[in-house]
Structure 1
């Protein structure tokens, strides 16, 4: 199965998502610089559907040491803001489903992640490391403007996959 087949199907198995990810080329830190709109890549992970429901917009990579890992739509659903990951996780744990409703409490103007080249699943590729959470997102190149991401979080029973498209 290819990435395009999976997008058309709307969901894949965890094994198929891993195989697609493994078949893609690594990417570099420099390639990631910019703003990316995210979407889910449903693969049977327990978090499938939660980011879309919360109003997730995507990610912004300003430079290797200045990353906004969680961008969410504001209430107007046309602009977005950067959320402090720990405050976002706390809001979600408290039952908040629309992150825009708590923008004033969780918005940040400081970077909360960084980029590094790291080996994952047999290839060295660009990865985003959260500053205050045991999470690393690894990226592989679908094309110049599309990435497949794999979130590796300590304690998760599987890998959460997602798509980023350059804005």
Structure 2
């Protein structure tokens, strides 16, 4: 597969209504260009590839919208919708927020988001100027996976609602 074929295959897999073979996603990933953290700053709307991974559908249940990278040290990995339809950074689900780094994954250095409160990394590669492919990797996941595959599309500026107050044991 060459880069042009990888872009076309990415679109086909993204539009596929059903389960996607992770090996096909890996073949696409291998042909995509790496990115730097600075190149991906901004707001992104997300979606997932259903591969049979245990996380399939879990973000939808949390009403996940996407991610917001305000700076390399201020990344909001789980922008979700609240009951009023407003977007907010779901600190509880993510156990905090995140930061962007350049990390080697599969022999290539690319932009990677490190979660503050979880041993989780989201690695990114460029599909085109407005689309990223992501692979979530975590502590304890073998080199061959299973990985969680997702995509991000540039979105207009996200206006986040104030975070909901955290429940305390006393309330």
The two structures have a TM-score, normalised by structure 1, of: 0.80
> Any residues of structure 2 matched to 1:6-155 within 5 Å, and which?
6-10=13-17, 11-77=19-85, 79-84=86-91, 87-88=92-93, 112-155=97-140
1:165 aligns with 2:150: no
1:123, distance to aligned residue in structure 2 (A): 1.2
Residue 8 of structure 1, CA deviation: 2.7
1:130 Cα deviation after fit: 0.8
Q: Is the 8 A contact 2:75 2:98 kept in 1?
A: yes
Q: Which runs of 5+ in 2 are unaligned?
A: 1-5, 156-171
Larger Rg: 2
With the length of structure 2 as denominator, give the TM-score of the two structures. 0.78
**What is the CA deviation profile of residues 33-70 of structure 1, one whole-angstrom value per residue up to 9, with x for unaligned ones?**
11101111112211111111220011110101111111
Contact 2:77 2:94 survives alignment (8 Å): no
Higher helix share: 1
SS at match of 1:165: strand
Q: How many residue pairs end up in the alignment? A: 144
Structure 1, unpaired ranges of 5+:
91-110
- Which segment is superposed worse, 137-146 or 19-28? 19-28
Q: Shift in Å at residue 117 of structure 1?
A: 0.7
Q: Is the 8 A contact 2:94 2:117 kept in 1?
A: no
RMSD: 1.7
